Amino acid sequence: MITFNTTTKTFHLSNKQISYIMQLDENKHLVHLYFAKKIHITDDDNNQLLFGHLDYQYFKGDRLVNSYKAKEYGSYGTGDFREPAFVIRQENGSKISDFSYVSHEVYQGKKSIEPLPALYVEEEQEAETLAITLHDSLTDTDLILYYTIYRDYPVIARRVEFIHQGKEPIHIERVMSMQLDLADSDYEFIHFSGAWGREKQIVSSKLRWGNQSIASTKGVSSAEHNPSFILKRPDTTEDAGEAYGFAFVYSGNFLCEADVSTFNQCRVNVGIHPVNFSWKLCAGEQFVSPEAIVMYSDTGLTPMSHNFHRLFTHRLCRSQYRNTDRPILLNNWEATEMTFDEEKIMSIAQKAKEAGAELFVLDDGWFGTRNDETQGLGDWFANTTKLPSGISGLSEKVAELGIGFGLWFEPEMVNKNSQLYKSHPDYLLQTENRHGHSFRYQYVLDFSRDDVVNYIYQQMKAIISTAKINYIKWDMNRYLTEVYNVTLPPDEQGKVFHKYMLGVYSLYQRLTQEFPDILFESCSSGGARFDAGLLYYAPQTWASDNTDANDRVAIQYANSFFYPICSHGAHVSAVPNQQTTRTTDIQTRANIAYFGAFGYELDLNELSKEEFEVVQQQIAFYKENRTVFQYGTYYRLVSPFENNVGSFMTVAPDGSKAFAVYYQRLYKPNTEFINLKLKGLEAETKYQVSLLGVDKTYYGDYLMNAGISFNSSHIARNGGDFTALLVEVTRIEL
């Protein structure tokens, strides 16, 4: 898959779908030539690409050859005035560097960079990796650029390493995991932005001259911007056209930018945000960047999403749950918040069992003196006033019901009103002589310190190993402020944000290795850390604290561009909805939540007899069809961001079954018809379509090309506003 032409000095990474080509120029600098659909090149083609196209303006003599040349990893200060891939500061203050080619190595497979998350291989032949070593002689530093190409995915995974040998230290002040210089800028930039409770709203804008970016400096990837984005051609649709999808495999500060020159070239950078980042390297030390991924499609956005879903499920997620049935859970948070006792919890768990749920999750409020938000965080031992038999006793009792038991933690946090704070006030991220800001009365533990991470590990381990725990919800409910490590010298404070993330990942690594049977769900006030990085350790993520069916249609639709459906935690909650006060029908709530890792977030004792029976039916239905929802092939049909209607569907891995949801926001009388055209069916096969109690038979090509007609009157008879209908499509076996 990887070749090096010693005559033209050209690297060509290719599989059946893509080609990624770069070349050494006359100064042994690495020049980017091409990344898109698979092509063949001759020796002449290389020269054509290099001199006729990308370096079209000034290519000889002492002109500014460097300015517009497409780079693999552009440096600062030597004539390329676009956003650089990296900046290194020397002790004398100079930020100029000159890295040129020394050697390269190609190997089968892909090496782990744990605790940093990254794509992996199961068999060496699945992928090849190219490691190109560049060297800056003045500072005596190596820079290694890593490229992995997979045999079966149109994807390139990239990361870099700096290895320093020079006597004087250097300071890396900016390090992108990937730079990609595209030859033109005729793209739309699609990203997923929002806030708490309205995560992942789709934003799309045409690229223009200048810099367009999304970023986080909050210490987590954030609800405001997700570290994933798409560049697509203006005419690219779900089913046709070119697009690049970028995902940063990281959960902390990030920068994703498209820097468009006035010659219409587009430079893409993906990496750790440079604000408050500075990494000092002494002789013999090395810095390993997180990984960034770029996927190419020339067949539209849906195939790109399918590839991301497959790749993330099978080659990013490490858990044994990566492709096994996810349990139907019931979480007590919205039912009780922190006000409960063992009797109450057992009554909720008992009813969950009666409904058919498979796992009960005890959320916040079970530990220390955690009776409200002001106290207890950091004290990971049971509050025996509320729970006299402790977590081990409670977990036994839940196990006796015949269902699993899950527990909530917020490992990175502490309240000042806690035993942890009283005994270790120095464990916080805090700046000497400065006020420390709390949020929700909580402070952030300094996870950049091994001793702090180890302390929390011991506490968690003590609980986990003495109770029957099948699931852990790892929450994280605030952004980072006063980021300063009291144990590090002044010139290493720029390491703290990244070391914090390494601490989080290393705790995940230890816990998941030691307790491989536990299913982890990550959470950060809902979806503020729903990213590729955490999928490595936690196969599912709580998508949002907003469980309103109307808003979840949009959030789940947007999540589907990158993240597999089985990774979206999606629950039916009580009405009126806690966040929006909106009331939707219980079947509508389930019809949306089915498209995810399904569960409930309410006290089923409070439902009417009729509603409880509906819940029992829903759970039985989901058990029967779980594989279709969690591991089916997912299609976006109608965008809820652009319409009064939202629709998506999933087709079983064996093609025998499909479900589509048709959601209407507001009822309007006597509206026009909408033909819902299904996708992913077999054209010449007959299917039975069940909708609103009526069964009809159609060919697959009819359903995909003519579609099913809806208008408001269908919905009016079934609830009017905020109503989701489920269409069941069953292959008729001959």
Residues forming contacts to ligand DGJ in the complex (CB under 6 A) are: 333, 363-364, 408, 475, 477, 523, 525-526, 542, 545
CB closer to ligand DGJ out of 278 and 544? 544
Q: Measured from the CB of residue 601, what is the shortest distance to ligand DGJ in angstroms?
A: 8
CB closer to ligand DGJ out of 298 and 363? 363
Distance of alpha carbon 160 from the chain centroid: 21
CB closer to ligand DGJ out of 277 and 600? 600
CB closer to ligand DGJ out of 321 and 333? 333
CB closer to ligand DGJ out of 136 and 363? 363
Nearest to 600 by CA among 231, 370, 353: 353
State the Cα–Cα distance between residues 267 and 173, nearest whole angstrom: 19
715: which 2 tokens?
Answer: 């919905």
Look up residue 67 and give its DSSP letter. Answer: S
355: which 2 tokens?
Answer: 């409904």
Burial track 618-652 (b if 16+ CB lie within 10 A, e otherwise) = bbebbeebbbbbbbbbbbbbbbbeeeebbbbbbbb
Look up residue 77 and give its DSSP letter. Answer: S
Coil, helix or strand at residue 71: strand
Do residues 30 and 145 make contact, with C-beta atoms less than 8 angstroms apart? yes
Residue number, nearest CB to ligand DGJ: 364
CB closer to ligand DGJ out of 408 and 497? 408
The three-state DSSP-derived secondary structure of 463-516 is HHHCCCCCEEEECCCCCCCCCCCCCCCHHHHHHHHHHHHHHHHHHHHHHHHHCC
CB closer to ligand DGJ out of 362 and 638? 362
Burial track 279-317 (b if 16+ CB lie within 10 A, e otherwise) = bbbeeeeebbbbbbbbbbbbbbbbbbbbbbbebbbbbbb
CB closer to ligand DGJ out of 260 and 361? 361
CB closer to ligand DGJ out of 252 and 599? 599
Give, in order, the Cα–Cα distances in Å from 326 to each of 57, 73, 323, 529. Answer: 56, 41, 8, 20
CB closer to ligand DGJ out of 17 and 383? 383
Q: Measured from the CB of residue 646, what is the shortest distance to ligand DGJ in angstroms?
A: 23
First-last CA distance in the chain: 43
CB closer to ligand DGJ out of 46 and 559? 559
Q: Measured from the CB of residue 472, what is the shortest distance to ligand DGJ in angstroms?
A: 12
Q: Which helix (H) or strand (E) holds 713?
A: helix 712-716
225: which 2 tokens?
Answer: 């911007």
- Cis status of the peptide bond prior to 115, with omega within 30 of 0: yes
Please provide the DSSP assignment of 149-190 as one string. EESSSSEEEEEEEEEE-SSS-EEEEEEEEEEEEES----EEE
Nearest to 180 by CA among 198, 200, 156, 202: 156
Do residues 503 and 115 make contact, with C-beta atoms less than 8 angstroms apart? no
573: which 2 tokens?
Answer: 């909650």
Catalytic residue among 475, 531, 548, 585: 475
Q: Measured from the CB of residue 724, what is the shortest distance to ligand DGJ in angstroms?
A: 22
475 has catalytic annotation: yes
Q: Measured from the CB of residue 629, what is the shortest distance to ligand DGJ in angstroms?
A: 21
Nearest to 291 by CA among 320, 259, 322, 315: 315
Interior angle at CA 727, CA 725 and CA 733, nearest 5: 165
CB closer to ligand DGJ out of 404 and 526? 526
Nearest to 451 by CA among 497, 495, 506, 414: 506
695 has catalytic annotation: no
Q: Mutual orientation of helices 496-514 and 450-465 as an angle, nearest 10°? A: 20
Within 10 Å of residue 391's Cβ, how many Cβ atoms? 24
Catalytic residue among 545, 548, 551, 585: 545
State the Cα–Cα distance between residues 214 and 220, nearest whole angstrom: 13
CB closer to ligand DGJ out of 277 and 530? 530
Q: Measured from the CB of residue 363, what is the shortest distance to ligand DGJ in angstroms?
A: 5
Do residues 660 and 688 make contact, with C-beta atoms less than 8 angstroms apart? no
Coil, helix or strand at residue 426: helix
Q: Measured from the CB of residue 544, what is the shortest distance to ligand DGJ in angstroms?
A: 8
Do residues 650 and 565 make contact, with C-beta atoms less than 8 angstroms apart? yes
**What are the helix and strand counts (H, E) for the chain?**
14, 38
Q: Measured from the CB of residue 528, what is the shortest distance to ligand DGJ in angstroms?
A: 9
Backbone φ and ψ for 34, nearest 5 degrees, come out as: -165, 140
Do residues 549 and 586 make contact, with C-beta atoms less than 8 angstroms apart? no
Backbone φ and ψ for 445, nearest 5 degrees, come out as: -70, 150
Active-site positions read: 475, 545
